[in-house]
Structure 1
Amino acid sequence: MDTDNPIEPQPVENNFERVRNEIDYTRKIQPLLCAGKKRKGNDELTYPLCVTVDKMTGYIYIVDCLNDCVKVFDSTARYIFKFGDNRGEGKMSRPRSLVICRSRILITHQHHILNYNLDGEYISRIGKQGKEELEFNYPKGIAINESNDDIYICDSDNNRVQILSKDFQFKSLLGSFTLPRNVELSKDYIYVLDASNPCIHLFNHNHILQKSVISFGQGNQVINPRTFFIDNSNNILIADYSSYFISIFNPVFQSIHHIPVSEQPTALTVDNHDRIIVVCNHALNCLQIF
């Protein structure tokens, strides 16, 4: 596609295949568990920006941005360990996002991608600052194509998504955007949150734009989408930073439910037990599980 001109968002049409909502989100009203008070202690969080669950262990991995590390909790929100080198090439400074792929953890940080193993041991550093292939300018969201392990990276200040192979070789670009913040993949689509509009662009896996969604359900518009998650039924869960809500939509972007949270939600995911895991900014309980 043409990467020289920014994408023009278009209203969504309800022509996607309808997928049955297998999780009754309407029953989720108040958190089951809360943890992670705002401090600098091991079990505390300061401006968490990403939350991911290891499907094998159920461990919850949280990018603790202002503490320059990743903190790991078990499924009961009990602190387990943290990692992030204090010096050298593996040093974290304001990490932004994280994805788990088999035996490795990939973290976006400044102008690089950091590669760790599941025990939190630093392996390698990918990329440098710039605008060419394998160069980044404040990358944010990161996702994995589980069918081939391709890596999708929101190269935010370069207004594009870079796609790398599983061995960190450049493959292609997806763009151009104005401020891509988050990317998620389903079986059928690649979803990219363009934060400056804001809107969510849907591409097929041939990287052809299908739709751009700028209205998230009639009468239920999202004000400030900070990030989003696609569940196994292709429902879309959006962290609405300005309204203190988690907004949930079906695959054709019809509103299902809104869940109030204590403060501005910055990231969310769904675990193997269909629990919504949310991290918030400036909250007494930064980690909330519904």
Structure 2
Amino acid sequence: MAEAINIETERVKTRIDYTSKIKPLVCATKRGEGNDEFYCPLAITIDKMTGDIHITDCHNHCVKVFDSTAMYMFKFGDSNGEGKTFYPRSLVICRRRILITHNHGILNYSLDGKFISRIGKQGKGKLEFNCPWGIAINESNDDIFICDFDNNRFQIYSKEFQFKSQFGSFKYPHDVELSHEYIYVSDKSNPCIHLFNHNNILLKSVISLGQGNQVINPLSFFIDNSNNILITDYNSNSLSIFNLQFQSIHYIPVSEHPTAVTVDNHDRVIVVCYHTMNCLQIF
């Protein structure tokens, strides 16, 4: 039986004025294989110390790094060998390294693009994955949370990649975000968002039905510093913002098929989009 959710333990307020974010300040759009071009950008994360933007460029098999003004800096991902980056999906920064989900494992790189190690292999056991996707870090202890997409489960590892636990009775967990109290997991098969506590107990499932007040296809999401939930709606080409009770705050029209969203230290909303646009937008 699901536990009651004690909303009072979380900060519930709207600090960022999302209603002011009408048109993008920056829109970098070009499909291709060049340095400042994309072919299926899937995920995005911000280096909080520098403001640099890291994006997985899936079909170009690399991670591309841009500065805070969206100017290209460099890319990384070996074309062969142990560090080969094969269809990178999601990424997260932890202790000045970057962890990338790809193929059937996790790649560990330094932030300047140097390969460190490869973790995991294909399978259903511990340190085994079948198309890992979303990845997040628990900032209190550096535990690593991974959506094991085709194994229909969720795995948790220590910062040294020692197995801790797994859970889930859903199909195709796609993205994960953490707040102080909760674990949010998007379920691509339903589609919906599941809310767990840190004892891995399911508290609530939010079924997504329509545009505006609710979203159609919650592909990925981000929790801002005020615990508002930003969700990319892949089908309706919009970004929906909810408070912790999943009440609608606002939604922002974006380019075609948004795949990922984040918020930087200057409260700018940063979105990447797939399909014909293949772009990076900053609001």
Which residue in the other structure is 2:250 paired with? 257
Match of 1:118 among 111, 119, 130: 111
* Cα 1:193–1:285 shift into 2, 3 Å: closer
Match of 1:42 among 35, 38, 41: 35
Match for 1:171: what amino acid? K
Q: Is the 8 A contact 1:239 1:266 kept in 2?
A: yes
Alpha-carbon deviation of 1:188? 1.0
Q: Are 1:75 and 2:68 matched, yes or no?
A: yes
Match of 1:54 among 37, 40, 47: 47
Alpha-carbon deviation of 1:206? 1.5
Give the 3-state SS of the residue equivalent to 2:19 in structure 1: helix
Report runs of 4+ in structure 1 exceeding 6 Å deviation: 216-219
Could you tell me how far apart the structure 2 residues matched to 1:230 and 1:217 are?
21
Which residue in the other structure is 1:16 paired with? 7
Q: Are 1:142 and 2:132 matched, yes or no?
A: no
Structure 2, unaligned runs of 5 or more: none
Aligned residues with identical type, % of pairs: 73
Could you tell me how far apart the structure 2 residues matched to 1:285 and 1:179 are?
24
Which residue in the other structure is 1:211 paired with? 204
CA RMSD of aligned residues (A): 1.9
Q: Is the 8 A contact 1:216 1:254 kept in 2?
A: no
Match of 1:161 among 154, 161, 174: 154
Q: Deviations over 1:43-77 (max 9, x none)?
A: 11110000100000100000000000000000000
Match for 2:154: what amino acid? V
Could you tell me how far apart the structure 2 residues matched to 1:249 and 1:174 are?
26
Q: Is the 8 A contact 2:222 2:230 kept in 1?
A: yes
Alpha-carbon deviation of 1:220? 2.1
Q: Are 1:234 and 2:227 matched, yes or no?
A: yes
Q: Deviations over 1:107-146 (max 9, x none)?
A: 0011000000111100001011000111000000000000
Which residue in the other structure is 1:188 paired with? 181
Q: Deviations over 1:193-217 (max 9, x none)?
A: 1111111111111111111111479
Match of 1:129 among 122, 127, 131: 122
Q: Is the 8 A contact 1:144 1:150 kept in 2?
A: yes
Q: TM-score, normalised by structure 2?
A: 0.95
Alpha-carbon deviation of 1:15? 6.3
Structure 1, unaligned runs of 5 or more: 1-7
* Cα 1:219–1:274 shift into 2, 3 Å: closer
* Cα 1:218–1:265 shift into 2, 3 Å: closer
* Greater length-normalized contact order (CA 8 Å, ≥ 6 residues apart): 1
Q: Is the 8 A contact 1:218 1:254 kept in 2?
A: no
Which residue in the other structure is 1:63 paired with? 56
Give the 3-state SS of the residue equivalent to 2:132 in structure 1: coil
Alpha-carbon deviation of 1:258? 1.0
Match for 1:16: what amino acid? I
What is the aligned residue count?
Answer: 281
Q: Is the 8 A contact 1:216 1:249 kept in 2?
A: no
Q: Is the 8 A contact 2:208 2:218 kept in 1?
A: no
Give the 3-state SS of the residue equivalent to 1:140 in structure 2: strand
Alpha-carbon deviation of 1:225? 1.2
Q: Is the 8 A contact 1:114 1:125 kept in 2?
A: yes
Q: TM-score, normalised by structure 1?
A: 0.93
Alpha-carbon deviation of 1:250? 0.9
Give the 3-state SS of the residue equivalent to 2:108 in structure 1: strand
Which residue in the other structure is 1:275 paired with? 268
